[in-house]
Each structure stands twice: as structure tokens, then as C-alpha cells.
Amino acid sequence: MNNKRCNIFIKSAIAIYACTLNMTVLADNVIKPSINTVVNKTTTVTPLTFTLHKGNRYPLCNALLTYLKQSYQKESEFIHGAFNAPTTIFKQPKYTKITQKEGVLIDMQHLAYNKSLMEGYAGWVKTIERYAKRLNQITFYRTQVDINNDGIKDSIQTEKYSSKKLTIFANYPLTPYGTLAVNWYENYKPSSISGEIFIYQGRTFTIGAISKTGGIRVNEPSASSRLLPNGLPRLFIRKEVCIINY
């Protein structure tokens, strides 16, 4: 190789090296995220949209719709109780928590009168086993409330069954002796008055189990003008006075 070509080759090599060196320096100067860097992600909560599906003509339904809109942004805030937020419009009975033993006594009376659930040895065993599995998720209360809107306060046992997805309320009328008031029911076949009890303008209503599929449904228990053979008024449940979807 002659001197001229050698000089060209050396100059080219130097240029390539310098270019490579500059690229390396530039790359090193780029700010790289540390493996310990925490990336902040903003979670946007979309407010719930409550709509009144049934009951537009009733002040109760419109008042409940307004309360829900003003009080709740997420389902988790009201799925276990519709009146967790403060309110002066809706009232709830004052509850006294009772022992599991006291609560179970009423449940066993209820099962004993519903013989279709308990037919044969297998029926008893399966029913009791199912009940035992749920027992630790049930909280028992007693309260005084005019459950059937006849103007007389009734002694009620309220049971609150809670799971992660929903809460179910069951209410049983009691006698003055603290036993299940089976005389409230036709043919002495008692059933629970389901739903979370609340009072609006002096009348008692209940809200059933809340879910996105079923919405928020308000029922109105009342004493029918028709009497049972024992002379007591029949218990009548006016279902779905209001339906609010979300």
C-alpha cells in the first residue's frame, strides 16, 4: 500500500472511531429510568349513573333517586346497605345486636314450620348443613318497628347475611314472648319479610338485595283488609314500588 492510500485509510479509521465515540457518549447521556422508579398511574373512577326505572309518580322513588345520586360514587359504598351515607329524609329502626344462640332459635322455629324443607332424614341433614355453612356470615338483631304499616309497632328479628358481593336482610315478626309469630301467616307457614328496613314519611318500606342486574328495588309491606281465620290481617307485600338501576 502506497503512502497516499495509507493516509486515506488512517484518516477514515480515525473518523469512524470518533463518530462511534460520539454516539457512545450521547447514548450514555440519555436519562434511563431506574429499575426502582415507581410509575404513577392515575385511576379514573367513573361516577355511577342512577336512573329511575319504575315509580316516577311517587315522591319516595324520586327522593331515593336524589339521595343515591348525591351520596354514592361506587357500588361498594352502598352494596351492603343503602343508607350508609347521612340522611335526614330516610330513617332506620334502632337495632340491638343479639347473640347467635338467640338468633338461631327463631331460625329453627322457621324451619320447623316449613316442613317441605325438612322432609325425611336427608332433608333435615342437608338443610341444617347449608344453614351451618352460612351461620358465621349472619348477624342477628332485634328491633321495634311497624313492619306492616298498621299503626302498631312490632317486635322484629332482623338477620343480615353478608358476602363479598351482596348483603341479604331477612325480618321475622315475633310474639310478645320472643317466639316466631307464626299466627301472622296463612296455614302457619312463616316466611321472612325480606329487605333492609327503612322509614319514609312515617311508612315502612324495605330494599331487597342490591345488584347491578336487579338494581335497587323497594317493597312496601302492609296489613291487608282480608283477615286470616284467626282474625289477624293478612300480611301483604307490595313489590317493586320503585326500581332504580345503576
- Residue-level pLDDT at 12: 46
Asked if residues 171 and 192 have their Cβ atoms less than 8 Å apart, the reply is: yes
Alpha-carbon span 63 to 108, nearest angstrom: 38
- Residue-level pLDDT at 120: 74
- Residue-level pLDDT at 112: 87
Q: What is the DSSP string of the chain?
A: --HHHHHHHHHHHHHHHHHHHHHHHHHHHSPPPPTTPPPP-PPPPPPP--EEEE-TT-HHHHHHHHHHHHH-SSGGGTTT-TT-S--SSEE-PPPEE--HHHHHHHHHHHHHH-GGGS-HHHHHHHHHHHHHHHGGGEEEEEEEE-TTSSSS-EEEEEEEEE-SS-EEEEEEEB-TTSSB-GGGSGGG----EESEEEEETTEEEEE---BTTTBEEEEEEEEEEEEPTTSPEEEEEEEEEEEEE-
Closest C-alpha among 191, 194, 181, 188 to residue 228: 188
* Residue 143, all three cell numbers: 328491633
- Residue-level pLDDT at 43: 59
Q: Does pTM top 0.75 for this prediction? A: yes
pLDDT in tens, the chain (246 residues): 444 444 443 344 444 444 444 444 434 444 444 445 455 555 566 779 999 999 999 999 999 999 999 999 999 999 999 999 999 999 999 999 999 999 999 999 998 888 776 777 778 888 899 999 999 999 999 999 999 999 999 999 999 999 988 999 999 999 999 999 999 998 888 999 999 999 999 999 999 999 999 999 999 999 999 999 999 999 999 999 999 999
The residue extents of the domains of the chain are 51-245
Q: Characterise 170 by phi-psi region: left (phi > 0), alpha (psi -120 to 50), beta (else).
A: beta
